[in-house]
Structure 1
Amino acid sequence: MTPLIVDTDPGVDDAFALAVAALAPEVDLRAVTTVHGNVAVEQTTENARRLLGTFGRPDVPVGRGAGRPLVHLLGRRPGRLSGADVHGDDGLGGRSGDFGPPVDESELRAVALMASVIEASEEPVTIAAIGPFTNIATLLSARPDLEERIGRFVLMGGSIAYGGNVSAAAEFNVWGDPEAARRVLTGSSVSTTMVPLDLTMRITLTGDWLDGLAATGPVGAALASTREAYLAAYSARFGHAAMAVHDAVALLEAITPGTVSTTPLPVDVDTSTGPGRGTTIGDLRGAEAEATDGARPVEVALDADADAVRAELWRRLSG
């Protein structure tokens, strides 16, 4: 089984993603690490502990990570500082207390926990990062000796042509720490798949789908219970009752490579202090850009069979 670490900021869609990871027989979930993002890291850590308790995984250590981005531009960061308006004040649609019992928090902080898992593993470790990439960038900088023992990064974040969801052009996870995202996307030799809004905004779950999931059992009911604020926010955008579960799509790809169809593109991140801060720039010249600029290509997920992904989520979450 592939060793897996999930770095996350739960988050409604993170909850769906963690359920996929915790219940997947194909992977060995070795650790969950938490980061600032949808809510403060204290709450994302509590949420991760409670979610793993609900999913029956007290064996998985939870390491608390970064509570702020690498660079904090006080008074100069446009937009909101968290996703609480979409995910609820507690990150789980006001239902965090319904999950649990919470598993224990590790004595190791996130970067140390990731390093210990990678050091102990006889096989390359996959890291799925579905929040801002602060912990991952810190790991790469603090322990460059471990880079060759990381099999793959699967990152939920960015946007190539879709536009942004926190500014005109920036996606939330990248915008949450642009310097960290740039370090991971351009400064690492690890094979990397980026799952952007271009794809995830096309894979939605309807209100009826969620009603059906709620009737399948305790896990489905718990996940569906988080939906109110999240579903309302996305329904306003889509014009009908549906919501995107960005992080769950990325986790499916981490567990079953090939779930999404990728295109190799050189990718950079705008780390300026202007309105483009946090924008991911995917060079659609592709191989030509790599040849002329020497840029490392990232596998960018731009397509997938949406119906097949929804069916696979149902299969894994309804059991």
Structure 2
Amino acid sequence: MIIFDTDMSLGTPGAEIDDGAALIFLLRAMGERVTAVTTTHGNTTLENVVHNSRRLLTYLERPDLLLGRGAAHGLIEEKAWFADWQAGYGETPPWPDETTLPLAVNLIIDTVRAHPGQVTLIAVGPLTNLALAVRLAPNIVPLVRQVVTMGGSLAENPEPEFNAHCDPEAAHIVLNASWPLRLIGLEITNQVQFSRADFAALPDANPALALLKAQADGWISRVESMGWGYGGCALHDALAVAAVFDPSLFEWRETAVSVTLHPENQRGITRAAPHVGSLVETAVSVDVARCRELIWSNIAR
């Protein structure tokens, strides 16, 4: 069983596309295992994340999946980190639905308790929902099968990665909860790139792929303007899904990971700290060709 925790911004014009690509990949590769999608702050407002998630699940013909309303801001800070980017965003089209959503944290806790040892949590945004679950119900930790998260960076000269920077306290709690956890950092995900030509070749008939295709060009232009690359982009969050589908794509190393909480300009920096905290498995390399093929063959079909 899989719960996918996301700050979905596919559907917000100009915003990042990798959450959407990851969910498309997940539902096509392991759709029968997915139990719920939970939403969190991060790439855009929580309301936008909810609208975007509902839209994409409908496009993917999975409106039956449980959808949880998660945290609107970090555990301590209420700053909307996406606001630094929002000048380049368009208005998110609403997705009308009057259904009252369960709280994400309750959905996580209740599902894990009902299915001990069976639930994998794939977290691809700030880790606030998972941290709240740990704090409210610490007895679920040994009941979780595995946590797989895209976040942080263990590069030699690290800067704060966005997910960790949005809620460093949550990242600290989750990385030290002593549950089976695999972490795929930015220095790994950046190695697996997808080009404008890849996205341009996507079929238009499927509305989910049409949305991904339409938003990809603007996001790649944003990547280029930031000096992060040229002619393509990484689909960071899709690698967390790949790690669940086929862990052999990665080389893993066990270490503890520290999260810097202060000073302000260093909040969210992650470092390998072998003698401090709980041990987690961190990806130290990826088979780029195999990983890229796995992701794209599922998305593009």
TM-score, with structure 2 as normaliser: 0.89
Please tell me whether residue 161 in structure 1 is matched to residue 155 in structure 2.
Answer: yes
1:235 aligns with 2:234: no
Are the equivalent residues in 2 in contact too, given 1:162–1:197 (CA < 8 A)?
Answer: no
Aligned to 2:134: 140
TM-score normalised to the size of structure 1? 0.84
- Residues 106, 249 of structure 1: CA spacing in aligned structure 2 closer, same or farther, 3 A cutoff? farther
Is contact 1:62-1:106 (8 Å) kept? Answer: no
Closer/same/farther in 2, CA of residues 279 and 215 from structure 1, 3 Å limit: same
Once the two structures are TM-superposed, the CA of residue 228 in structure 1 deviates from its matched residue by 3.0
> CA 1:53–1:302 in 2, change beyond 3 Å: closer, same or farther?
same
**Letter in structure 2 aligned against 1:148:** P
Deviating runs (4+, > 3 A) in structure 1?
Answer: 79-86, 101-107, 214-219
Q: Identity over aligned residues, as a percent?
A: 29
Residue in structure 2 matched with residue 286 of structure 1 by the alignment:
none
Q: Is the 8 A contact 2:7 2:124 kept in 1?
A: yes
**Partner residue, 2:270:** 280
Number of residue-to-residue matches in the alignment: 293
Provide the C-alpha distance between the structure 2 equivalents of 1:102 and 1:312, rounded to a whole number of angstroms: 34
| 1:68 corresponds to which of 59, 67, 73 | 73
One-letter code of the match for 2:181?
T
Name the aligned partner's letter for residue 296 of structure 1: S
- Number of the residue aligned with 1:50: 55
CA shift in 2, pair 1:230/1:109, >3 Å: same
**What letter corresponds to residue 42 of structure 1 in structure 2?**
E
Computed over aligned residues only, the root mean square deviation of the Cα atoms, in angstroms, reads 2.4
Report which stretch shifted further, 39-48 or 233-242: 233-242
Q: State the alpha-carbon separation in 2 of the partners of residues 29 and 222 from structure 1.
A: 22
Equivalent-residue separation in structure 2 for 1:316 and 1:117 (angstroms): 27
Equivalences for residues 86-125 of structure 1 within 5 A? 88-90=89-91, 105=99, 107-121=101-115, 123-125=117-119
The question of whether the paired residues in 2 share the 8 Å contact of 1:49 and 1:104 is answered with no
Moved more, 143-152 or 251-260: 251-260
5+ residue gaps, structure 1, are: 284-288
**Contact 1:63 1:106 (C-alpha < 8 Å) held by counterparts:** no
Query: How far apart in 2 are the matches of 1:9 and 1:152?
Result: 20
1:195 aligns with 2:184: yes
Cα 1:163–1:30 shift into 2, 3 Å: farther
C-alpha distance in structure 2 between counterparts of 1:85 and 1:13, whole Å: 19
> 1:106 Cα shift?
5.2
